[in-house]
Amino acid sequence: MFKLFTNMMKEEWRIHSTIFGSLSFALFTVMIFGIAFMGSFLLPLFRAVIPGDDLSIVVHALFLLLGIMVGAFGLIGQEAMNQRFGQAILLAYSARSLPISVQEIFCTFVVKDTVYYFFLWVLPFVGGFAIASPFVGIPLSLPALLLLTLTLAFLTGLSVVFFLSTVYARSKPALGVILALILIVGAGLYLFTGINIALFFPPFMLFYSFSWVTLTLTCAVILCLSVVAVLLFTSEYTDTTRRYNSALAPLAQRLSFFPYPPLAAKDLIDLSRSGSFIGQTIFSFLIPLGLLWFLLSMLTRLLPTGGVLLLFAILTGVIASTMYTWITAFDSYNSYTCLPVSVRALLTSKMCSFAVLQLIPVALIIVVSLLSNGVAYLIPALVLCLSVSFFSLAVTVWQTGLSPSVLVYDAKVLVIYLFVLGIALIVLIALAFINPDYALVSVLLFLPGWLLVRESYVKWDTLDQPIF
């Protein structure tokens, strides 16, 4: 098993280093280290705006969110086998050719990803904070404790979503029951006791009051959820035969106002029939945004009236822009090389499919505004969400073309993306907090977004497309 683990680690490194180059990919951890190091010197400023407890909750929640985003392993088998992944065979899908069980291989795969992302994200972040600690008067014992609690926060998010995603792959009604129970229990505790539920997040409890009992229980929960998820995991989906009526022509007719209706229709059908549409909506959109809304709701006293909803709309737009990855994740360009389809046409069709998916964040913003009594800010919130989403899409296409999911760990690409998007978001947040109506200015983002898309057509039409 150890040999399989080391081979999987080598495989992961080779994939990323082949795509970016070994140096560019290695610089990603350096960038995370640098951000944490420089951010540590701003802690006095942050504490003047956000209380220490809230700041600690936010940091732990970010790593919980990272674990949530990484942990949807249960969807991988279904998406990879039912979509368009035949051109890439990984060790995780070699159970039929190796004398090892699927569970053993996938358990090794999960351990590999856990270790891999720990060294990629958690360790550089805590390392940067630790190096800066003596200069800002923080004892070194705090970074050591933070390394433990952030690791547990990451593993908690990973194991919970890993468990939920494998349940989803096995039985969608069962997932619905589990999520309903979690929602009812959480809402009941908050409504009837008024207690901040985040304070009972085990890694956060450990950070403020270390206890061997809490540590043991936290590790036990993470281990139990992971073991059950591994046992439930399956990459075999041949036990039932599904038959579908022809949907391409009717859907293309409905999308006739798009430049390339058949291509956009194909993307949407792929998402629907693979089960990725529902799974990605739950695990890559609703769960992370539910966590973000919970965190933002605790900052009501620090933000102006309507500020929570408007800030949530901006963050929703940023996360909604990742829907472009849903459409391109398993769609390699080499499958189109034998067709009279240009890179420009593919980019256009992917963006059109993306536009259809924006109905999801629109519906979410409407529901949240109704539940939070923020109907007065609904229009500015919708404009903010869609403007940020499409501008983020434009920057993503400009930087990554048809391969956003594999280029995200290129340090150069990520720095440019964060810089361009960060400037726009800072300006929009400031305007929205001054006056919610000023948020309507965000429609101006469509102009630079359109210019970036035009530049993307020229850029990616002249470059050889990567084939993974």
In tens, the pLDDT along 335-362 reads 777 778 888 999 999 999 999 999 999 9
pLDDT at residue 460 greater than cutoff 80: yes
User: In the prediction, which pLDDT does 175 show?
Assistant: 82
Q: Give the predicted TM-score (pTM) of the model.
A: 0.73
Instruction: Find the range with the poorest average confidence among 7-11, 145-149, 216-220, 435-439.
Output: 7-11
User: In the prediction, which pLDDT does 457 show?
Assistant: 92
* pLDDT level of residue 454 (50, 70, 90 thresholds): very high
By CB atoms closer than 10 A (0-12, 13-18, 19+), residue 220 is: exposed
C-alpha angle with apex 113: 398 to 315, nearest 5 degrees? 45
Measured over the CA atoms of residue 122, residue 127, residue 132 and residue 137, the dihedral's sign is positive
pLDDT at residue 447 greater than cutoff 60: yes
**Residues 112/9, Cβ–Cβ less than 8 Å:** yes
User: In the prediction, which pLDDT does 51 show?
Assistant: 65
Q: Which residue in 162, 61, 152, 70 sits closest to 116, CA to CA?
A: 70
Residue with the bigger pLDDT between 288 and 159: it is: 159
Measured CA to CA in angstroms, residue 367 lies from 65, 286, 290, 354, 382 at distances of 22, 12, 12, 21, 11
Instruction: Find the range with the poorest average confidence among 3-12, 263-272, 376-385.
Output: 3-12
Among 125-134, 163-172, 411-420, the range with the most confident prediction by mean pLDDT is 125-134
Residue with the bigger pLDDT between 317 and 403: it is: 317
**Average pLDDT for 274-300:** 74
**Average pLDDT for 282-286:** 77
Measured CA to CA in angstroms, residue 35 lies from 7, 48, 184, 426 at distances of 31, 20, 38, 17
**Average pLDDT for 380-388:** 95
Instruction: Find the range with the poorest average confidence among 3-7, 216-220, 271-275, 450-454.
Output: 271-275
Q: The tokens 């065979």 sit on which residue?
A: 89
* pLDDT level of residue 86 (50, 70, 90 thresholds): very low
Residue with the bigger pLDDT between 336 and 193: it is: 336
User: In the prediction, which pLDDT does 179 show?
Assistant: 82
**Average pLDDT for 90-119:** 74
* Residue boundaries of the structural domains of the chain: 1-239, 247-468
Q: Which residue in 124, 143, 123 sits closest to 134, CA to CA?
A: 143
Q: What CA–CA distance (Å, rounded) separates 74 from 231? A: 11
User: In the prediction, which pLDDT does 26 show?
Assistant: 67
**Average pLDDT for 200-229:** 90
Give the rounded percent of residues in the chain with a pLDDT score beyond 70.
80
pLDDT at residue 82 greater than cutoff 80: no
Q: What CA–CA distance (Å, rounded) separates 183 from 157? A: 16
* pLDDT level of residue 81 (50, 70, 90 thresholds): very low
By CB atoms closer than 10 A (0-12, 13-18, 19+), residue 218 is: buried
User: In the prediction, which pLDDT does 151 show?
Assistant: 93
pLDDT at residue 87 greater than cutoff 70: no
User: In the prediction, which pLDDT does 384 show?
Assistant: 94
**Residues 62/295, Cβ–Cβ less than 8 Å:** no
User: In the prediction, which pLDDT does 19 show?
Assistant: 54
Q: What is the pLDDT of residues 235-257, one digit of tens each?
A: 554 445 667 677 888 888 888 88
pLDDT at residue 388 greater than cutoff 70: yes
Q: What is the pLDDT of residues 118-161, one digit of tens each?
A: 888 899 999 999 999 888 888 888 999 999 999 999 999 888 88
HSE (side-chain half, CA atoms, 13 Å) at 80: 15
Q: What CA–CA distance (Å, rounded) separates 228 from 239? A: 22
**What phi and psi, each to the nearest 5 degrees, are found at residue 95?**
-60, -30
Residue with the bigger pLDDT between 276 and 77: it is: 276
**Average pLDDT for 425-431:** 90
HSE (side-chain half, CA atoms, 13 Å) at 157: 24
pLDDT at residue 98 greater than cutoff 90: no
User: In the prediction, which pLDDT does 219 show?
Assistant: 93
